[in-house]
Structure 1
Amino acid sequence: MGLLEKQVMQKRAVAGLPRKVEALDRLNSLSFVLNQGLAWVAGGSLLLMVLVVVGNAILRVVYAPFPGTTEIVGWLAAVTGAFGLGYTQVSRGYVELDALVERFSPGLQKALKRLMLFISMIFFALVAWQITVYGLNVAKNGNLSETMGIPYYPLIFLVSLGFVGLTLAILVDFLKEFNGGASR
């Protein structure tokens, strides 16, 4: 347990915070750390995508293009997009269209927000699960990429991990709604 975590625990003990808030704080921290890590990997993947495309353009002029550039860039794009999802949810980087909902009563707004978070959480959990099932099928069948002839199922699992991060972020938001809107 780090120094910062000990300080937070001491403050909670003094404040007498209930255990469910403590558990929500831990889940929130886990979600933030996981999704921030995935976002860093997404940034690295985006940078790598740029380097592959620019490197291929330079090789095209000097010698011959690198075969498989399209595959590699496509895989990196999938990882970049999937790994950025959870951090976008955590940091509220999305656009929220609430022109209709803001006309409803506060109680109905809260109920709709909870319902939408619940539906989104279930949907993206199912997406993560089905992508994992697909990855297992690709691995079992021994499918290889067309140009480079390498197994690509690990990238499918990485995309699934991105959706797991998003699902966790939505779960935390859903639980926060029942805890007064925030845990910190």
Structure 2
Amino acid sequence: MILSKITELLNKTLTFLAGLILIVMVLLTCANIVFRMFWVPISGTYELMGFAGALLTAFALAYTQVKKGHISVDVLVNVFPQKVQWVLSAINNGMCFIFFMLAGWQLAIKANTLRTTGEVTETLRIIYYPFTYAVALGCVVLALILLTEFLRQIIPSEEVES
């Protein structure tokens, strides 16, 4: 399925970027600690870490879904027959797809507003909207992963894999 290949590529790209962002966060934290020892902290570290944390989280969402790393409480679901579990899983994936598409859409609208108003951070004067668009992208990629999982559940595997 083409959608599966596209989401896999997007997921790998965002995962790679998340890894780079994590490295930058570690380096920035270490550098700030060292410079604080000499009473010269890095200005805007709080802002930079906030942006980096938002990007890291958003970019890791899809990877975590693919690896089944999100927390799920299935105590109640496990008592049902396999067919009911399958239906509930499909419904869950469908509902989560809708939720994260809506979240991505609303974040993109918010980013447009931030772009229009020219909103910037207080210390470093960094514009907000590119980061908001990036978080929206993370939500949309997660939604596409959920859509792919939903389609795999409702379409026989021979048709999905071709």
| Shorter-chain TM band | over 0.9
- Specify every segment of 5 or more residues in structure 2 that has no aligned partner in the other structure, as ranges: none
In the alignment, structure 1 residue 169 sits paired with structure 2 residue 145 = yes
Question: Which structure 2 residues correspond to residues 114-129 of structure 1 after superposition, within 5 A?
Answer: 114-129=90-105
Q: Contact 1:32 / 1:90 at 8 angstroms: preserved in 2? A: no
Once superposed, what is the RMSD of the aligned Cα atoms?
1.5
Q: Displacement, 1:95?
A: 3.3
TM-score by length of 1: 0.82
TM-score by length of 2: 0.92
Aligned residues: percent identity? 34
- 1:109 corresponds in structure 2 to 85
The count of aligned residue pairs is: 160
CA distance in 1 between partners of 2:4 and 2:106 (Å) = 25
CA distance in 2 between partners of 1:105 and 1:61 (Å) = 61
Opposite residue 154 of structure 1, the aligned amino acid is: P
Deviation per residue, 1:74-119 (Å, 9 max, x gap): 1000000000001111222223322211211222222211111111
Q: Contact 1:131 / 1:159 at 8 angstroms: preserved in 2? A: yes
In the alignment, structure 1 residue 150 sits paired with structure 2 residue 126 = yes
- Specify every segment of 5 or more residues in structure 1 that has no aligned partner in the other structure, as ranges: 1-24
Q: Contact 1:128 / 1:163 at 8 angstroms: preserved in 2? A: yes
- 1:39 corresponds in structure 2 to 15
Q: Contact 1:32 / 1:87 at 8 angstroms: preserved in 2? A: no
